[in-house]
Amino acid sequence: MITVHHLEDSRSQRVLWLLEELEIDYEVRRYKRDPVTRLGPAELRAVHPLGKSPIVVDGDLVIAETGAIVEYLIDRYGDGRLRPPAGTPERMRYTYWLHYAEGSAMPPLLVALVAARLGEAAKPALPYVSAQIKLHFDYVEAELAKSPWFAGDELTGADVMMSFPLSRAARLKEAAAWPRIRDFVDRIKSRPAYRRAAARGDGEE
């Protein structure tokens, strides 16, 4: 059985959602963050040297990095689901958004989080951070006008990957300007598989 090493309030909630969409049996091993550092516990390093989450164990395979996990699960267990056919424009959009989620959407959100913890010391960086957040999520908002899901008319693994940065963006004060992003987040949270994953994880992203 697949085991998901799940750190509270982390990207690993997406993996639970994907497993529920694929209707795959799995078990969850939960970890708490340090209340001061917000880092995962040392026990996670016994599973993977970086001590990050999510980590998926499937037989002898130990897989880290959310994008790699999503690709692996869809390749191994998808049976044609949650990924457009090869050679189609939708497949190219799928690949793009699958990688955009962590490569481009998350960095400004993470910098904003760190800046908030640094307080006054981070003040000079705030205009740049705010501009980057606006740039990226204005772009995503416009792209969602093209189709209901990131790769077209059907939910795919790209939407699973984008769910984490968009659920974070929807909480920002700037989110009033992004109705399509807020609609996307509402739609994923209404899915039965998402609700099952939330119950098994630590609540909604």
- pLDDT per position as a tens digit, 175-201: 999 999 999 999 999 999 999 999 998
Local confidence band at 205 (pLDDT 50, 70, 90 cut-offs): very low
Q: How confident is the model at residue 36 (pLDDT cuts 50, 70, 90)?
A: confident
Tell me the mean pLDDT in the region 106-127. Answer: 90
State the Cα–Cα distance between residues 100 and 164, nearest whole angstrom: 12
Angle, alpha carbons 8-154-161 (nearest 5°):
25
Note whether 189 and 204 are within 8 A (CB). yes
Q: What is the pLDDT of residues 156-173, one digit of tens each?
A: 999 999 999 999 999 999
Domains and CATH numbers, the chain: 2-82 (3.40.30.10), 89-191 (1.20.1050.10)
- d(C-alpha 135, C-alpha 153), whole Å: 25
141 Cα distance to chain centroid: 17
| Alpha helical stretches, state H, the chain | 12-22, 66-77, 89-100, 106-118, 126-143, 157-169, 179-189, 192-200
Q: Is the pLDDT of residue 90 over 60?
A: yes
Query: pTM higher than 0.85 for the full model?
Result: yes
